[in-house]
Structure 1
């Protein structure tokens, strides 16, 4: 079990980064031969990315709520994310091509993603009585005290760092 941090902390990631949300929705549960290959493709990608930090994924967490499955991912940059998505030698592109061939737009399985470029310091978060979670895993945890006690102070402190643009 992951250790609970029994104090208020906040997370920081140095520089700009990308928040990437990606998921699938099983629209026709009885057509398991259509949605199962899609569902099992993502763990292969996450394993690959976890073993190769130079590809740029900082952290990923999967959330299940059938018929929806989605992942929250933190990436070092959009360039890293795009390079991974387009690489012919890595897991994503062949999985994407297989999806388009097998499912395409027939309605059996829905897929989606949202990409957010987060500018240095243009975010705020707080965790209390939690294990490291979300940005707290992707970045570094700091005490949420003093200049970081309130949400407005945390976002202003992050925006005023020398690296902030």
Structure 2
């Protein structure tokens, strides 16, 4: 994906259901590298698999953030069924079993995830002078029109 800047205001389409899944880790003990590094290095293989098999897996898009102690990946999925099917897939199960075997209940590293099932018409976004980003990668990137100038209008399903 290129990072061309789109001048002006853009929004997303919101005509389909989607799932937003956040997953990440927190390094609680910085010097316990042997505990948190396996968690950190497990993700690139899964990300590669998702990006190479998007249509088949129902995976739409991803954004990554790395802080001093905490990482987060914001992912967008076609459906909760697709997300749950991936969680039972070979790469994820292998990483999860490896995590439990190597790290278990150590307090050196924390992991988390959050899942949001969002119905069509119940999400909106605005991008000003930005590349195609986040939800726009997953749901479509369109110029803001007079009909979609305000968040309240973008949240409408068009059926009122």
TM-score range, shorter chain: over 0.9
4+ residue stretches of structure 1 with deviation over 4 A?
Answer: none
TM (normalized to structure 1)? 0.91
| Residues 128-157 of structure 1, C-alpha deviations (whole Å, 9 max, x = no match) | 10000101111211111211011111111x
- Aligned-partner Cα distance in 1 for 2:62–2:151: 24
**Structure 2 match to 1:115:** 115
* 1:26 and 1:67 in contact (8 A); partners too: yes
| Residues 88-119 of structure 1, C-alpha deviations (whole Å, 9 max, x = no match) | xx311111111111112121110000000000
Point out where structure 1 has 5 or more consecutive residues left out of the alignment.
none
Matched ranges for 1:1-165 at <5 A: 2-53=3-54, 54-87=56-89, 90-156=90-156, 159-160=157-158
- Aligned to 1:62, the other structure's residue is in SS state strand
The count of aligned residue pairs is 158
* 1:63 and 1:70 in contact (8 A); partners too: yes
* 2:9 and 2:143 in contact (8 A); partners too: yes
CA drift of 1:39 comes to 0.3
- Aligned-partner Cα distance in 1 for 2:155–2:14: 12
- Aligned-partner Cα distance in 1 for 2:62–2:159: 26
CA drift of 1:161 comes to 5.5
TM (normalized to structure 2)? 0.94
CA drift of 1:47 comes to 0.2
- Aligned-partner Cα distance in 1 for 2:83–2:114: 12
CA drift of 1:13 comes to 4.6
- Aligned to 1:91, the other structure's residue is in SS state helix
- Aligned-partner Cα distance in 2 for 1:35–1:10: 38
Q: Between 123-132 and 139-148, report the one with greater CA deviation.
A: 139-148
Q: Given the superposition, is the C-alpha separation of residues 70 and 146 from structure 1 closer, same or farther in structure 2, using an over 3 Å criterion?
A: same
CA drift of 1:14 comes to 3.8
